Structure 1
């Protein structure tokens, strides 16, 4: 009976060991299968074009900014291949990074020998990728193993440094403005005193009142001058008519012709009168022009312009009088020339 129990115990232990070995084998195969599946998924994920027809192009970069093998290659935002190999090489121009790219055959027509490869990234802080840019589609399409150009990578550190400098400049400007406004509030400087000092304001008001008084006096003088100029213009008009009549009579041999022929004193008096009237007209015109210039200067002043904004009509009257005087003055000069001509004719006739 003891032998039977011993045999049963041995059979139980043997069957238990067999079960454990079977479970171990199953677990081992399961682990190996999961590892193979994971590796396959990883490889297939990095090499999407593993079972499609492809071709290879190469680009040489100065700096790839962390680009890794297996990174995507995109054209116009569409993935067309992947980076097959990244290798540091040495040539005559120094060390460069050789990047081999495997691209699907169906996208060959989109890549030409003039295309440029550039390092980009997915999003702001995403993985690096290669972007192929084509601007000239008239050049030949790339062949397997061709080398295309590479764009220099963006120097983000330099951009960040410039941004820091710009922020620092804005900070300095803000600080300077704060200091300037603080000085204004304290009444420092010319502008600060003007903004905070009542005496400066009162002085400005006094200047305005003085300017208004000056304007009133000038307006009165201008009114008087306008009366004088108009009277002078009327006198010149009358004298001009008399001179025309005199010259007409002289040409026809009437009236004062004899006196002018035989009395030299009368002729000289007439010539002196005409010259005096001409000079009077010149002086009146000059006074009108100077007054108009002074009025325009007062109205264009930044301080007194507002006080002298209402004299346009007076200035227009002065300009009209000035033109009238110019016409009369030209007429007097013409009459004077006619008198001189008559004098020469008389002298030639007496000889």
Structure 2
């Protein structure tokens, strides 16, 4: 007879074995699978790879902020300029003369308007030699140089007691130069990707010369001005590739005809026709957008205004200018340019 036996394991021993297995499992997982040939954990046989991401303070290359100061900025632009000029005797503004009763509107008056824009080129250079300086105070110091020249034809009329002369087309050139010291204070704008804008100031010298062809029947001699100027600038980033640029300036004593000996006395007519002396004042403004296109290259589109007002006193050589008068001159320019920075 065959007897079948069974063994009973005490319940206390089962609890002990379960506890030992639970404690051993994390240790086995940490040590990794065993190599069947060497009976050593695989993690001890193969070196582990380590990847570190260094921050800016530990030497990694960090992408510069959009709009950060650069050493050099070059702007080559196509320009279209419109000029308006008026001269009225015995008043302090061209509009005031038009409001006089018709029988009091006596004397020679001049009106000049650009029938076509003066097309030309403008070149501007900005230098900030301390742009990469650690000092936030010094990095905004710099210099701005600029030159502009345009060519076109204009319609000229002269109105006097004898009536109005026929409209005459004359060829003219518009030339401007700028040399100014500048300072900018940069500020951060935005949180997703930091961008930089700035507020700044400029001061220096400017010139503006409007030359018309020399002819016997040409009633105008043009204007030539050399004057100091100051301006305030603002540049605010709107998007990563679009910035809003604005500027306002004062043109200090921009008197016409500063060098009568330069062309045989022709420039002296800019004053003597209207009086014996002149005091002048002017202002300028600019509004535009700029941004990056690819690499160091970008774009710049701006509309600029420059207005001059000349108040004459004393007796001039033109009819009706016995007590001086006023002349007003306005330049409106559209600039579309390509920029390069370094």
- Larger Rg, first or second structure (1 or 2): 1
TM-score normalized with structure 1 length: 0.19
Q: Point out the structure with the larger helix share.
A: 1
TM-score normalized with structure 2 length: 0.19
Q: Point out the structure with the larger strand share.
A: 2
Higher relative contact order, chain-length normalized (CA < 8 Å, sep 6+): 2
